Amino acid sequence: MKRENEEKTVSPAVVARLSRYYRFLRDLKERGVERVSSAELARLMDLTASQIRQDFNCFGGFGQQGYGYNVEHLFGELRKLLGAEEGYSAVIIGAGNLGSALAHAQTFVRRGVAVSAVFDVSRRVVGSAMGSLTVRHMDTLADYYREHPFQIAVLCVPKDAAQFCADTVAELGVPAIWNFTGIEVRVPPRCIVENVHLGDSLLTLSYKLRQRESR
């Protein structure tokens, strides 16, 4: 059953912090910590206790006054909110260095997403093994989607192929794209795109470093 406040619009900033809460709570859970207060969690995450309570109140709140938060329960609630229990399936398009790194990482498994296939157009890599998967040719993507519908397409292709790949998966009806191409792709509103710009993150770090050195 959905919480009463879950239907309300939640700001992107709160959604972004949910992922951080999930990561920190997973660490606490793996360390055997049973409960944590908002103040303790705030110290760990360099936030304020008030901010944490406000964020969680967007979804009805999860704590008990005088007790704090049960780590396992809160972690489970966040898994539900973040869709980590939905059993989503993903495919990686682009079997280069980044695609290969993602295919071998625990990023998907630890967040409840299963990578079911990898696709590329290069004869050099098609048919080769990538972990437990065999790289398939991009020409077979449509047939694969009909037989094994997936929810997330992970784009790890060169920039000049990004829009074509985005168009291809959007036309198939794939509902979400995780885009590592470095450009903003255009897709119909029914398709959700999460753009990952590694360069932006590096420039943010560079800016902070420059600010510190100029003090």
> Percent of the chain at pLDDT above 90?
75
Residues forming CATH 3.40.50.720 domain(s) in the chain: 89-200
Residue with tokens 């949910």: 18
Question: CATH for 4-80, among 1.10.357.10, 1.10.10.10, 3.40.50.720, 1.10.760.10?
Answer: 1.10.10.10
pLDDT at 68: 85
What is the pLDDT confidence band of residue 110, given thresholds at 50, 70 and 90? confident
Compute the distance between CA of residue 82 and CA of residue 197 in angstroms, rounded to an integer: 21
Taking alpha carbons only, the member of 87, 148, 92, 84 closest to residue 114 is: 87
Which DSSP state fits 181? S
**Confidence band, pLDDT 50/70/90 cuts, at residue 4:** very low
The predicted pLDDT at position 157 comes to 97
pLDDT digits (tens, 9 = 90+) for 129-181: 998 999 999 999 999 999 999 999 999 999 999 999 999 999 999 999 999 99
Q: Confidence band (pLDDT; 50, 70, 90) for 3?
A: very low
What pLDDT score was predicted for residue 159?
A: 96
Mean pLDDT score, 98-121: 93
Answer whether 185's CB lies under 8 Å from 158's CB. Answer: no
- Mean pLDDT to the nearest integer, 179-207: 93
Sign (positive/negative) of CA torsion 12, 16, 19, 21?
negative
Q: Is the pLDDT of residue 1 over 80?
A: no
Q: pLDDT for 15-68, tens place per residue?
A: 889 999 999 999 999 999 999 999 999 999 999 999 999 999 888 878 766 678
Given CATH 3.40.50.720, say whether it is the number of domain 89-200.
yes
Predicted confidence at residue 8, as pLDDT, reads 58
Lookup: tokens for 70: 């049960």
Mean pLDDT of the chain: 91
What does 28-95 look like in DSSP terms, one character per residue? HHHTT--EE-HHHHHHHHT--HHHHHHHHHTTT---BTTTBEEHHHHHHHHHHHTTTTS--EEEEE--
pLDDT bucket at 5, cuts 50 / 70 / 90: very low
Within the chain, all domains assigned CATH 1.10.10.10 are found at: 4-80
Residue 78's pLDDT is 93
- Identify the residue whose tokens are 């059953």: 1
Task: Mention every residue, 6+ apart, whose C-beta is less than 8 A from residue 139.
Answer: 121
